[in-house]
Amino acid sequence: MKLFPRIVWIVRAAALTVSLAGVLPCARAQIPCPHLALGVDVSFLPQAEAEGTIFRDAGKAAPGLDTLHAHGYGWVRLRIFNDPKTLPNNLAYTLAEAKKAKALGMGFLLDFHYSDDWADPAHESTPAAWQGLKHKQLVDAVYTFTRDTVQQLRDAGVPPDMVQIGNEITSGMMWPDGKLPDNWDNFTDLLKAGVRGVYEASDPAHKPRIMIHIDQGGNKTTTEWFFSHVLAAHVPFDVIGQSYYPWWQGSLADLKDNLDFMATHYKRPIILVETAYSWKPDNYVKKPGPYPETPEGQRAFLEALVPVVLATPNGLGRGIFWWEPAVRGPLARRGLFDDEGNSLPALHVFDACMQ
């Protein structure tokens, strides 16, 4: 992963180590250069560009990933489905985008959904090919699929630097076998199988960090409930991933409270692996967030978020990933480009970090 010389506190792709050297202010004095793993989930970016979307920054067209990287984002997050029928995120598609990211020197976070479609707390469907399997068979299937996927990425020269075992798995995964709260033993068996698959396929000297990801950025109670069970089952993992959207996961004060709790109790790095804010009214969101749904309101949200993460005890707030910054359709309301593909003010928050 490329390390920019004036970034003084950055999470390295291979080891999440911390180095200290100084402080660089960003363009606006309110926040320092964050020195975090700054990432983007660009799982729909290749599809958007293939369908004709052109992304522009200061009026100049450029590949979307190049533009995001030029504005300080040093990681990509890419989701993978088992056998998607209506969405593009299969292995070949994911591998191609991972190659582009690695060529730019970016870190690569692989997000296993273990589903043929979206997996989140309301939809954790077992892949069609695995439906009807007994628990032990499902455990074996998770192990084999994970191992083979990571091995193929490694063989292609793009081994992931970090791997999520499931996506927003607060309610479990691969329902009904791993559904929570009823099937904790089954669920943790599935997690362990995924971790084992990652380790089996990885270079022992450069194992990816393992992330466990839930959608409770501002909810300390549910976070404690979930991770107390995972830790009691001795699931091996390195990083806590949280989603934080203020209209769903509470205020920045709620987020800070939970970050403080996680850092104090779990003593593991924490990454906000999904966050975003709307730059124009979003019909999908019933409860408005604390900032105007405008381009400047979106920027204000990100500028307010960074100090909260940086204030996490013991330096354990390690990253912020913007979800789908370059995409078409309704989801573009939370992106970092407008409907015509022009960059928005929030894209420029970390510009000084590249100087």
Q: Indicate which residues carry an active-site annotation.
A: 168, 274
Pairing of strands 60-61, 56-57: antiparallel
Phi–psi pair at 89, nearest 5 degrees: -85, 65
Long-range contact set of residues 27-33: C-beta below 8 Å, sequence gap at least 24 = 27/348, 27/351, 27/352, 28/303, 28/349, 30/303, 30/307, 31/303, 31/306, 31/307, 31/349, 32/310, 33/6, 33/7, 33/8, 33/350, 33/352, 33/353
Both tokens assigned to 215: 């959608």
Residue type, 158: V
Length of the chain: 355
Of 207, 290, 200, the residue nearest 245 (C-alpha): 290
What residue has token string 């409930």? 225
Angle of CA points 291, 269, 345, to nearest 5°: 30
